[in-house]
């Protein structure tokens, strides 16, 4: 059986959360509305972390995690996105950081985890070039306020996720659709990740700076030319679109005519210097691989996912394929970039339908098996010499899981959203035992 000590004494173990998914108090203490408050209106009190952060950080400690990754809500600090600062919001994150330090837990702060101030969305959000000045103001404020306490910073969480789901497919906030919206949002987010890195570097001494990318191994359904090309298009979007401009390689236009057309029509896309930043680490967030086949009837990408259940493959309650070998493969794919100095797994986890027994125990054996198999694959990579410095489980407790609402439970800790009672699942106790060994 694997154990944490197999990864080395300097390997960092953490658990991750996000402000919009756990805080609650969405319209209290001076906070402005975010795009998710406007788009969903269902998060409500979420996990009430705003009022119970001390107890929840104590849970992080109890489970044995030395690192806690959380995000700062942009509209809680700047209700209008820019301008007037909400001092109550400033104070709250000072208290969260101080509590982490008091409990000897290392804070990893994510600056943008999808909760854009709605006031900025009214001006175009990530499709507007003005978003970059607003984002830089927010990052500068965070660096000024918390830079003497926080060393570890993550600029963006999954830029492909929030640009594709929110600005092309419309299934996440703010609900916009279309290729034009998507590529505008992509370009401004790519600028933001590099700008944010430069600001933290200039403002925070000894900062350890990263950004995170969602990633999935993309597997062609067959070895036909059409399926191979379809897989290449999806890989370009999901895995290459943000990391390659960051490395000074420009946008990955060579394998897809559509991207080349956008590069030509947007002259600023040819200027790579502002898109480039030398991050100390790159965070990878992986949950599943994607098997795709060519489909001429799907607009733009001409590709279609072949679901795991239709291929009789193991899958989570989200329908996501469970494949630790693909976890291994996609990490190797990113590790092959010569510009990446250090990798961290900043999210990994699974949703299964937990059942609470009459004695309030949650025996989530499937989740434990998921973690154990993926950590075994990660250890193999470490032993092969891949520079991976940490792993963060998603997530501390069941939360507001975006478009899935409160149904999709990824937590190591069960949360009763009516009473806010927390119950540690067997997977939480498994991690506690794993980290102690």
Q: How far, in Å, CA of 195 to CA of 147, rounded?
A: 17
Catalytic residue among 99, 217, 321, 347: 347
Please pick, among 145, 158, 244, 401, the residue that the annotation labels catalytic.
158
Beta-carbon count within 10 A of 104 CB: 8
* Residues present in the chain in total: 437
What is the spatial distance between Cα 14 and Cα 93, in angstroms, rounded to a whole number? 19
Residue 238, C-beta contacts closer than 8 angstroms, at least 6 positions apart: 160, 214, 215, 216, 218, 290
With contact defined as beta carbons under 8 Å apart, do 231 and 292 qualify?
yes
Which 3 state secondary structure label does DSSP give 402? helix
Long-range contacts of 246-249 (CB under 8 A, 24+ apart): 246/190, 246/193, 246/194, 246/211, 246/275, 246/276, 246/277, 246/279, 246/339, 247/276, 247/337, 247/339, 247/340, 248/272, 248/275, 248/276, 248/339
Catalytic site residue 137? no
Answer yes or no: 23 catalytic: no
Q: Which residues contact 248 (CB under 8 A, 6 or more apart)?
A: 272, 275, 276, 339
Distance CA 430, CA 375 (A): 13
The continuous run of DSSP H or E covering 108 comes out as: strand 106-112
Q: How buried is residue 49: exposed, middle or buried, by Cβ count under 10 Å (0-12/13-18/19+)? A: buried
The dihedral sign for the CA sequence 249, 254, 258, 260: positive
The residues annotated with a catalytic role in the active site are 158, 347
């Amino acid at each position: 059986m694997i154990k944490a000590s197999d990864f080395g004494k300097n390997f960092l173990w953490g658990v991750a959360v996000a402000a919009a998914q756990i805080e609650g108090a969405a319209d209290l203490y001076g906070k402005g509305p975010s795009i998710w408050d406007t788009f969903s209106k269902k998060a409500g009190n979420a996990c009430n972390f705003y009022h119970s952060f001390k107890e929840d950080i104590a849970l992080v400690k109890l489970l044995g995690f030395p690192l806690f990754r959380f995000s700062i809500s942009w509209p809680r600090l700047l209700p209008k996105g820019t301008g007037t600062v909400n001092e109550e919001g400033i104070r709250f994150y000072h208290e969260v950081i101080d509590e982490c330090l008091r409990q000897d837990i290392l804070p990893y702060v994510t600056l943008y985890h999808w909760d854009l101030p709605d006031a900025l969305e009214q001006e175009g959000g990530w499709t507007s070039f003005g978003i970059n000045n607003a984002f830089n103001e927010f990052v500068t404020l965070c660096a000024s306020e918390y830079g003497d306490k926080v060393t570890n910073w993550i600029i963006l969480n999954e830029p492909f996720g929030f640009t594709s789901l929110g600005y092309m497919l419309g299934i996440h906030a703010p609900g916009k659709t279309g290729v034009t919206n998507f590529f505008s949002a992509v370009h401004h987010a790519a600028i933001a990740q590099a700008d944010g890195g430069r600001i933290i570097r200039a403002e925070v001494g000894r900062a350890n700076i990263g950004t995170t990318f969602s990633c999935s191994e993309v597997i062609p359904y067959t070895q036909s030319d059409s399926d191979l090309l379809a897989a290449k298009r999806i890989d370009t979007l999901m895995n290459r679109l943000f990391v390659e401009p960051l490395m000074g390689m420009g946008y990955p236009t060579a394998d897809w005519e559509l991207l080349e057309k956008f590069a030509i029509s947007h002259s600023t896309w040819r200027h790579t210097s502002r898109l480039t930043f030398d991050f100390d680490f790159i965070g990878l967030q992986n949950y599943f691989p994607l098997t795709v086949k060519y489909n001429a009837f799907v607009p733009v990408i001409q590709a279609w996912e072949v679901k795991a259940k239709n291929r009789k493959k193991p899958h989570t309650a989200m329908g996501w394929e469970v494949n630790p070998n693909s976890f291994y493969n996609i990490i190797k794919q990113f590790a092959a970039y010569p510009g990446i100095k250090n990798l961290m797994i900043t999210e990994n986890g699974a949703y299964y339908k937990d059942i609470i027994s009459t004695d309030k125990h949650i025996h989530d054996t499937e989740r434990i098996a998921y973690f154990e198999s993926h950590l075994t694959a990660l250890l193999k990579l470490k032993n092969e010499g891949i520079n991976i410095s940490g792993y963060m489980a998603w997530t501390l407790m069941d939360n507001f899981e975006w478009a899935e609402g409160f149904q999709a439970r990824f937590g190591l800790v069960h949360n009763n959203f009516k009473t806010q009672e927390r119950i540690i699942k067997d997977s939480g106790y498994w991690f506690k035992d794993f980290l102690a060994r």
